[in-house]
């Protein structure tokens, strides 16, 4: 067990932003600790500065809460997530560490934590080139959908058409990310491979506006993997092309986001009828559930409301899966390469639910006959998104790899399973997870099975009609 002084702060980060992707977080003490503890090792960017999150006991009256906040150095705040949780803004000169020590010493405080930041779960790209497109060549480019180690999209599409729900039509999927290029508004353009009908109303929890526009490209890429328009003579295909996307911006233009903001996004998606949530982001592996209680509560809320949550397993090459993928009930997705090997960057271990294509170089697994790290790297994942940094210029960048890319394959398949009715009208997250695991393709040698969870996602098998 780590001492309080060893624990660390952190922001969440996207697991595949075209700019920065690996998750970097900071350090702190257990949120339920009452003794004063320092923030040893915490970097300034790992958590939000000038504010802390506090959860009051339901029995503490409003006046007592105000006195507690003021005594801790709070100069104002707002309700966050529920009536008993507040985001307290600190007065000038009051540090996060001092405020936490004061708050944790007060009766009536259930927990007090910094507002951690997450990042998108992506590998930092080193090749900014793009791949040209040609009519009809999507099958050559999208190995992840139809290649030998793809997810069998063609069979899944056939299954859904036979079920009367082509491409997962009728299911809303929330993409909690850097936003999505979903509309023509001001300086923003809708991605040319999206239809306006693809989207339902979302929200920007970073800028606090109803317009969840993308300033990075990562969210647009993830949304494209799930539901990019198919059979329109342009660009590439989306796996659940009939599903509708709810764009929810929880990561900023650098692909970073606070735990409280992500939690708000999860609750928004659940309350606005999303059936599946994609979280292509990660916190550091050393962060515990006690460090992000607001996020854990939101994930529990989604689970209780029958909403399936899929998250990237992370890109640290570690045997420990980070939050949110580590949370109970969340489908944790590792990444594989074009060769059917675990990707060299992917986290692994017993907490991984299954794997899906993420691109990149093979891991070194001597017992796995499909792993050849000595050979050239396999191809990355392709989807229409920003060709550079402008939200008005789109293309097919070749530098996207990571568990961020793997997760939306599983989210899209979950949406198609829901639409197909093979598990009934409203399957539980447990039933969906069990089906995805049962139909996955086994990978690895005898000593490597725990690297892949249940195996490689098989969308064709998962959406197949039930037997007699």
Q: Considering 26, 120, 218, 258, which one is annotated as catalytic? A: 218
Nearest to 11 by CA among 151, 117, 119, 122: 117
C-alpha angle with apex 358: 352 to 359, nearest 5 degrees?
Answer: 135
Query: Residues 51, 68: contact at Cβ < 8 Å?
Result: no
Are 130 and 387 in contact by the 8 Å Cβ rule? The answer is yes
Angle among Cα 259, 414, 154 to the nearest 5 degrees reads: 135
207 among known catalytic residues: no
Catalytic residue, chosen from 26, 30, 260, 404, is 404
Residue 135, both tokens: 């009519």
Residue 346 · residue 363 · CB < 8 Å: yes
177 tagged catalytic: yes
Contacts of 333 (CB under 8 A, 6+ apart): 310, 311, 312, 313, 325, 352, 353, 354, 355, 356, 403, 406, 407, 409, 410, 457
- Cβ proximity of 229 and 236 under 8 Å: no
Write down the catalytic residue from 101, 177, 252, 370. 177
Is 304 one of the annotated active-site residues of the chain?
no
DSSP letter (8 states) at residue 107 = T
Query: Pseudo-torsion of CA 379, 385, 390, 394, nearest 10°?
Result: 100
The catalytic residue positions are 177, 218, 404
């Amino acid at each position: 067990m780590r001492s309080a002084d060893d624990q660390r702060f952190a922001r969440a980060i996207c697991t595949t932003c075209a700019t920065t992707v690996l998750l970097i977080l900071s350090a702190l003490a257990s949120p339920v600790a009452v003794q004063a503890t320092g923030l040893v090792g915490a970097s300034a960017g790992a958590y939000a500065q000038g504010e802390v999150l506090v959860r009051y006991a339901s029995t503490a009256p409003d006046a007592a809460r105000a006195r507690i906040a003021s005594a801790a150095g709070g100069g104002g705040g707002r309700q966050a997530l529920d009536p008993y949780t507040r985001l307290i803004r600190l007065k000038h000169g009051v540090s996060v560490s001092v405020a936490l020590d004061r708050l944790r010493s007060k009766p009536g405080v259930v927990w007090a934590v910094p507002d951690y930041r997450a990042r998108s779960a992506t590998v930092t790209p080193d090749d900014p080139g793009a791949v040209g497109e040609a009519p009809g060549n999507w099958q050559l480019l999208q190995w992840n959908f139809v290649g030998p180690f793809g997810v069998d999209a063609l069979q899944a599409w056939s299954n859904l058409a036979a079920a009367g729900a082509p491409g997962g039509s009728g299911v809303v999927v929330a993409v909690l990310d850097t936003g999505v290029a979903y509309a023509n508004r001001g300086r923003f353009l809708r991605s040319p491979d999206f239809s306006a009908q693809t989207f339902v109303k979302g929200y920007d929890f970073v800028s606090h506006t109803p317009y969840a526009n993308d300033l990075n490209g990562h969210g647009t890429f993830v949304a494209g993997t799930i539901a990019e328009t198919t059979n329109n003579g342009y660009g590439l295909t989306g796996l659940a092309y009939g599903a509708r996307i709810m764009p929810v911006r929880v990561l900023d233009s650098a692909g970073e986001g606070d735990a409280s903001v992500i939690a708000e996004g999860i609750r928004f998606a659940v309350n606005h009828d999303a059936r599946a949530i994609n979280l292509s982001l990660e916190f550091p592996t050393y962060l515990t559930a006690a460090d992000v209680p607001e996020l854990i509560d939101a994930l529990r809320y989604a689970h209780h409301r029958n909403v399936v949550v899929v998250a990237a397993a992370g890109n640290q090459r570690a045997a420990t899966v980070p939050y949110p993928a580590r949370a109970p009930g969340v489908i944790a997705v590792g990444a594989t390469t074009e060769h059917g090997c675990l990707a060299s960057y992917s986290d692994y271990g017993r907490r991984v639910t299954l794997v899906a294509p993420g691109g990149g170089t093979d891991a070194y697994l001597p017992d796995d006959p499909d792993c050849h790290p000595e050979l050239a790297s396999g191809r990355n994942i392709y989807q229409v998104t920003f060709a550079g940094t402008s939200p008005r210029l789109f293309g097919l960048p070749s530098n996207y790899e990571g568990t961020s890319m793997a997760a939306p394959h599983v989210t899209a398949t979950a949406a198609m399973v829901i639409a197909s009715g093979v598990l009934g009208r409203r399957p539980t997250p447990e039933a969906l997870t069990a089906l995805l695991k049962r139909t996955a393709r086994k990978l690895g040698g005898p000593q490597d099975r725990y690297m892949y969870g249940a195996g490689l996602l098989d969308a064709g098998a998962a959406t197949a009609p039930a037997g007699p």
